Every structure is written in structure tokens, then in C-alpha cells.
Structure 1
Amino acid sequence: MDGIRVVRINDTHEAEELLREIGADEMGIKIMIPKSVFRAVKINGIRPHVANIIKQEMLSKGGEAAVNRQTILGGENTDILVMGTLKQFEQLLIKLRIQPFGLKKLAARIEQALQASNSNRRFSLKLPRGRTIELGMSTLIMGVLNVTPDSFFDGGLYLQPDQACLRAEEMVAQGADVIDLGGVSTRPGATPVSFEEEAKRVIPALREIRQKLPDVPVSIDTFNAQTARMALREGADFINDPSGLKADAEMIEVAAGFGCPVIVQHNRMGGGYQDLMTEILGDLEEALTMAHEGGIQDGQIIIDPGIGFGKTAEQNFTLIKNLAEFKVLDKPILLGVSNKAFIGRAMGDMDAERVTGSLAAAVVGVMNGADMVRMHNIEETRRALAVIDKIRRAW
């Protein structure tokens, strides 16, 4: 015996790699792949009799399910944690589809979530003028460009269109894949800005950037549908809405009308979470439903968990650690952690440069499923991602 490894298999692709490495029979590989991958699925607010059906069915397949100890007596709804291999889930779903009490619909949602949780996801979003942006291969970098006097990191540096364009060119040369152009600060306590003032800031800069960098995707970072509409007409490629489509009722109509990609960011100001991950997933699901009903194509949406927006420092770290859970929404994931206050607090020095802390958070986020990171320090980020993308794809 040369050695023993305890192998972690994250998804079906890694299971297949390992089985082929061993030299298993081709038919055996197909049979063993779903038996090799373990999943734990948490379902919230299930009626007791439904939870008991799921538990008994999963137990009969050799899996496990945990419910509240009072569930057997009926009473209040319960959360349930269902645990097993993909094969056991496959067998469970067959049985649930023929059960009453809405279990057929629940089975479809579980199946979709399990499929979306696989690591090797690929997304192709359509940009205006016949272009596309590909996510899911190498991690993309969104370079932050604020043409504002009061943004927390680069406020006042790029107020003139030529300054903004030079910075955009510099970021692209350093490795930025997308430029995120914003004319309103989203930092806590920032002064509200009128549409006229926001447009006066971003549109001249956008025209200059579009002239010098015609093929580089540019997102317009705005709460305001009027600003988004004007920017898209002037050559912006997609919308980054920090409100999650909730600040301006016309934003969905604008995005649907242009057919452009849109970033839906979670933003529940005031917090008040009882179950952080469940509630943020639920809020994003609501936003996605609104987007779909308003005519935005499912394949044109990127989600952002909204680090720093209505969350404590500890909640931000929890989101980054558990970012992979957002894969169940089957959308590309954008992560914005760059130079935020919670990074400075964790480093123990609010006045120190936060580049290293920002890179640490971004790298962990990428390992946990981020497809694109929104950053200020582009050159350092590109170097870090060159390494982390190699690690992610290693076996």
C-alpha cells in the first residue's frame, strides 16, 4: 500500500476525472458518477406531513433527512436538511413527482438546484452590436470607474471625461474585461444626485471611452432608469443596478427594451436578517421573478450578493464563505469586495491600504463560485486571478 487519500469530489466533472484516472470501465463510470457526489439540500418552511414524506422517502433510498424533532407531531412548518448522493436524490425525485401536496413542483426545484450547483458552468451573454461576453471560463475583472466627487475610494480623481477615459484605458491595459462607469456614490451617507447631474457626469465620459475603446464592454452603474436609457443609447453595453431593480420601477422596462445584460444586486438596506443566506437567496429569487415577468431574458442576468449593502462585516464574510450556494439560481455571479470598510476592519487598520485584504476576499470568492470580480486595483487582481484560475481547474 503506497498511501491513502481522503478525496473531496465537488461535482460530477471531478468524479468522472477521478474514475477515469483509476481506469474504471466506461459503463461503470456512468453508473458511479452520481454515486460519487454528495449533496446536502436545505428546504425552508415545509409543512410537517410533507417533511415526513421527504424524510421517509430519502431514508428508503439510503440517504438521510433532518427535520425538527416536533415534526412527527404535526404543528408548525419545519426546515428540512436532505442529505445524500446525486443518485439517491435522483431516486428521491422520481418518487416525489408522483406525490400530492405540491411535491411535484418541489421536486422540479430541487432538480434545478442540484444541476445548477455543478462547478463547471458556462454563460454567454449577448451585448449590443452583435457581441457577447463569456463567463465561467477564466474569471473576468470589472474595473471600477467612478466619475463622482464623493466615492469612498476614487472620488474626485476622474471628474473630467479625458481623465476618466485615460483611467479606463489604463485598466484595460492592466487586464480589466469590463469597465463599470458610475456617476453616483453608493457609500453609506452619500448625497443623493439628480438625474441631470448624474447624466452630466457619466455621459461625456462614456462618449470619450466609447470612442477610444469601442470594443470593451461598459456597464452603467446606476439606480436611475433615465440614466440607464441614455447611457445605453450612447454605447453602454449593460446595466449594473445596485438596488436590484427596486429603486426605479422603469429599470426593468429599459433593460428589457434594449435586451441588454443586467446585474441584479442584492440590497436590503437596514438588514434585519434571521437567516442570512436563505433570505438573500429569497430576495434575489423575487428580483429574478420580477425581471422575468418584465421581459428581461433569463440568460441576460448576472447576480451580485451585495457585499457591504445592508450587511454587517460578519455577514459579509459569511456571504463570501458560502458564495457557492448562489449557484442554485443558475446565473453568473459578480462579487464586489474591493477596498470596502469591512476589509479594513478585518486587517485591523482602517487607514491602511486594503489591496491585499481585497485580493484575499476576491480569491476566496472566486474559489467559491464568483465568475467576475469588481475591483479597483486591476493589475494586482489580474496577477492573483492568473494563479487562482489555474488552481480551480487543476485536478
Structure 2
Amino acid sequence: MTLNKQRFSGSNFDFNLSKSPIIYAILNLTPDSFFDGGVNAGIDNVFQRIEQEMGYGAAIFELGGKSSKPHFDDISADEEWGRVEPYLKAIQKRFPNIILGLDSNTNEVIERGLKSGIQIINDIDGFNSDAKLQLVQQYHPSVVTMFNGRNFDEQPDTLLKTMTDFFEKAIGNLQSAGLSKSEIIVDPGVGFSNHNTLEFDIIKMKAIKELTKLNTPVMTAISRKSFAKRLFGFELEDRLIPTLLFEAYMISLGGGILRVHDVKETRELIETFNIFKDELM
């Protein structure tokens, strides 16, 4: 076992992922997100959460103004940005050194976020348009490019190749737009299949090892997702333990960036993993 030896870098940050995985905290500002919809209502509540999760070791906070759960209801760019903008400005004022990501696949929202100082863009569609690539070239953010199985005819026997072909093309396009590999995270997209089957999710989790060969940072983004329900019948409130166990497995394969809801517990997982990582390598 080896940790991904890549760095993840960008505007005012540089993380050595071979030293330790990092925590990428989810901060949904939507009323309908699958796990924490409506939880972060109110600036003071968000401030308190950020302060607490910084103390637990969160390195990055990602704002999201639109749910991307299966069969989500799309909204306008204005409504999506209207959910994000007041929090973004307040957070930047209160925490001037914070590293912020934006979870959006909407061109107008991505551009507004970049103009407002967002450092990382997470696109569930993997920057699959010229318009998005032009924004990357113009503003030079770091990015998370995800494999969205809803955009593909996924087949179990060919899924790994479909994913790697997609990522090779996406990375090439992003490099042509001016990014280095240390500025590009790949995310296999667990939970983003048309049929939302356990089989596809397991393939994507196991794919971490192969994806490290792309020589980019690899994201583990499985927090509280429905694979735990399909495996064990667990509802949302009971999915923490399987999430942590599968995250530990994915870290061991090279997933160096953990996108999570449960920051405190993830910190404890990483500290435990780091005690034994030299024995595992």
C-alpha cells in the first residue's frame, strides 16, 4: 500500500498528500441536500461550524448551493448563486485565510464564484464543456473533476476503462487550459450512477488504486452515501461507521483527499491511519 505521492496545490495552499490525507469539509447551503439540507441556515451557525471544524483539522471548506443527489430538482443560476453569495462574503470576511471550494456545474455560478475569490471548483460533470475550460484558463482555479456516471452508459465489465479514459481526456483538457496535475483532483463519483447500484459503487471505490496512476490527487467522496443502505439497510443517521471503514480502505489505496460531512470522526480516522501507515507501506 502507498499513499498517493501527489501534492494538491492552488492559490495560497500546498498540501503534501504523501504525508497525510486531508479533510475537505462539505458545507451545503441548500434546503434539500440528501444528508444536511437546511442544517446550515444562518451565518452565525455557519461561523460556529467552521470554527469547530477548523479545530478538528478541516483543511478546505466547500460551499454548495444546489443538491446533486439522484433525481435532484435543478434550479436557476440566480437561485443557486443567491444561496451561496451572502455566506461566501461573510465567511471570507470572518476567515480571510480560509481555503474555499464551490460545488457547482453551472457556468454562470462557477464564474461568479471565481470572480469572488473561490480557489477550488468541484464540477460533477468533469469540466466537459469549452465554456468551463475557458473559465479555468481565465481564472486558474484548482479543480475537482468528477466522473458522473449519469452522463454515461455504464457497464460493469468496462466501467474502469470508461472512467480512466474519461479522466485522461479531462486531465489533458485541463492541462491545456493551464493547470498542472497538482491542481487537478479526480473523483470516481461514487453514488453518481444512472441505476445507482451497489455494484457500480464498489467498482468505483476499488478504482482508487488504478486512478493514482494518473499522477493527480484522488478524492474519496463517499460520506453517508446510499451504498451503506444497499449493503446493510442503514438509513442516513446510521451510515457513519460504514463510511469511515470504506474511507479507510480508500485511503489505503491512495485516496488522499476526504470529502466529508463528519469532520471530527474523520480526523480521528486519519490520526489512527497515520499511526499504522508505515507498517502498511
Q: 2:190 aligns with which of 304, 307, 312?
A: 307
Misfit runs of 4+, over 6 Å: none
The answer to whether residue 84 in structure 2 is matched with residue 202 in structure 1 is: yes
Corresponding residue of 2:131:
250
CA distance in 2 between partners of 1:136 and 1:234 (Å)? 31
- State the TM-score, normalized to the length of structure 2: 0.91
Percent identity, please: 26
SS in 2 for 1:177: strand
SS in 1 for 2:16: strand
CA distance in 2 between partners of 1:163 and 1:271 (Å)? 41
Query: Contact between 2:30 and 2:83, CA under 8 Å: does it hold in 1?
Result: yes
Corresponding residue of 2:176:
293
Query: Contact between 1:253 and 1:295, CA under 8 Å: does it hold in 2?
Result: no
Q: 1:280 aligns with which of 149, 153, 163?
A: 163
What per-residue deviation string (whole Å, max 9, x for no partner) do you get for residues 51-110 of structure 1? Answer: xxxxxxxxxxxxxxxxxxxxxxxxxxxxxxxxxxxxxxxxxxxxxxxxxxxxxxxxxxxx
Corresponding residue of 1:47:
none
CA distance in 2 between partners of 1:237 and 1:166 (Å)? 22
CA root-mean-square deviation: 1.9
Query: Contact between 1:323 and 1:365, CA under 8 Å: does it hold in 2?
Result: yes
Q: 2:205 aligns with which of 304, 307, 320?
A: 320
Query: Contact between 1:145 and 1:180, CA under 8 Å: does it hold in 2?
Result: yes
Corresponding residue of 2:220:
335
Q: Which runs of 5+ in 2 are unaligned?
A: none
CA shift, 1:210, in A, is: 1.3
Q: How does 1:45-84 map to 2 (within 5 A)?
A: none
Cα distance change on mapping 1:174 and 1:275 into 2, 3 Å? same
What per-residue deviation string (whole Å, max 9, x for no partner) do you get for residues 233-260 of structure 1? Answer: 22321111111112x5422121222222
Which amino acid in the other structure matches residue 190 of structure 2? Answer: I
Q: How does 1:1-395 map to 2 (within 5 A)?
A: 119=3, 121-127=5-11, 130-246=12-128, 248-269=129-150, 271-273=153-155, 274-310=157-193, 311-350=196-235, 352-394=237-279
Query: Contact between 1:281 and 1:326, CA under 8 Å: does it hold in 2?
Result: yes
If you compute each CA radius of gyration, which structure gives the higher value, 1 or 2?
A: 1
SS in 1 for 2:126: coil
Cα distance change on mapping 1:155 and 1:224 into 2, 3 Å? same
Cα distance change on mapping 1:120 and 1:281 into 2, 3 Å? closer
CA shift, 1:292, in A, is: 2.3
Query: Contact between 2:3 and 2:252, CA under 8 Å: does it hold in 1?
Result: no
- State the TM-score, normalized to the length of structure 1: 0.66
* Structure number with higher relative contact order (C-alpha < 8 Å, ≥ 6 residues apart): 2
Query: Contact between 2:33 and 2:69, CA under 8 Å: does it hold in 1?
Result: yes
Cα distance change on mapping 1:131 and 1:139 into 2, 3 Å? closer
Query: Contact between 1:266 and 1:284, CA under 8 Å: does it hold in 2?
Result: yes
CA distance in 2 between partners of 1:299 and 1:152 (Å)? 30
CA distance in 2 between partners of 1:207 and 1:125 (Å)? 23
Query: Contact between 1:141 and 1:378, CA under 8 Å: does it hold in 2?
Result: yes
Query: Contact between 1:126 and 1:133, CA under 8 Å: does it hold in 2?
Result: no
Out of 289-298 and 234-243, give the one that drifted further. 289-298
What per-residue deviation string (whole Å, max 9, x for no partner) do you get for residues 184-231 of structure 1? Answer: 100011111111111111111111111222222110111022212222
Corresponding residue of 1:79:
none
CA distance in 1 between partners of 2:124 and 2:236 (Å)? 26
